[in-house]
Structure 1
Amino acid sequence: MAGINKVILVGNLGKDPEVRHLEGGASVAHFTLATNEYYKDKQGNRVERTEWHNIAAWRGLAEMAEKFLKKGQQVYVEGKIRTRQYQDKDNQTRYITEIIADEITMLGGRPNAGNGQNAAATNSTEAEAPQTFRQEPELDQLPF
């Protein structure tokens, strides 16, 4: 039996997506996502803990992220966790763990192009149905 590598996150974008267009025509978007949890310490004080996640979205999802996602927006991200290594400018091996997004759903309405206001303020029916984007599987990932 194959293992399962599935991540589900709901959080707020820490920055606008940064999109790169690669030589082969593929595009990749990188952004950070903050998730918060709350608990009470021994003194009964409410404590907030923020965890930052590195998100990578490829191809069509990268284009969607570039077009629709903005800093501070709440999103649902579904994907898989992956750790990769690279050489920094001092030739040191570095590691980064990131979530490779398979699905992104915009929550809390869509940004209104032009004035930056939330679509919920202008069109309540549009805000009721979150917009979901999915990454189409590569040919080598199909189950048949």
Structure 2
Amino acid sequence: MINRVVLVGRLTKDPELRYTPNGVAVCNFTLAVNRPFKDQNGESQADFIQVQTWRKIAENTANYLGKGSLAGIDGRIQTRNYEGDDGKRVYITEVVADSVQFLDTRNGQNQPQSNDSGASNMNTPQTNNNENSGGYEPNQYSGPIDISDDDLPF
């Protein structure tokens, strides 16, 4: 079975960071993702997708992203349900992000921030929720990669 989601969009408001009773960080936000077509009036449409991050990625998302920030999300779709105050069953579908790419900064500059968990640019490795994910040094790649066209596989 495959359950994989990749999205690029802008946050509709600042992320909400909370902690579970066990002290685990969880961050929720909504990502506006443009549709690839326009409506009958020629206007662009967007989908507003609920996203959730956990642990260090949640903390970094809350610290480095804000309303209007451009972000790339890689994760999975999750559904859950609960009984509402009125006794009716409430169903929620959201994306649980395994990684978040900070494609611009909180203050709107177009230079991505780089840190060791969740933020990356073209020259730094991607971070994911798996804490035992290869053991790289986060600041190991600090400049352009010296590679010729002959070395590329495509």
TM-score, length-normalised on structure 1?
0.75
Partner of 2:121 in structure 1?
129
Structure 1 stretches (4+) deviating beyond 3 angstroms?
A: 128-133
Matches within 5 A, 1:1-144: 3-40=1-38, 45-107=41-103, 109-111=104-106, 116=107, 118=109, 120=111, 129=121, 132-136=126-130
- 48 and 41 in structure 1: CA distance in 2 versus 1, 3 angstrom threshold: closer
Unaligned stretches of 5+ residues in structure 1: 139-144
- 41 and 31 in structure 1: CA distance in 2 versus 1, 3 angstrom threshold: closer
Identical positions, percent? 34
Give the letter aligned to residue 58 of structure 1. W
The CA RMSD measured in Å over matched residues stands at: 2.5
Give the letter aligned to residue 32 of structure 1. T
Cα distance, 1:134 vs. partner? 2.1
Query: How far apart are the structure 1 equivalents of 2:51 and 2:36?
Result: 23
- 91 and 77 in structure 1: CA distance in 2 versus 1, 3 angstrom threshold: same
SS at match of 2:62: helix
Query: How far apart are the structure 2 equivalents of 1:40 and 1:30?
Result: 28
Unaligned stretches of 5+ residues in structure 2: 113-119, 133-154
8 Å contact 1:40–1:46 — kept in the other structure?
yes
SS at match of 1:67: helix
TM-score, length-normalised on structure 2?
0.70
Structure that is richer in helix per residue:
1
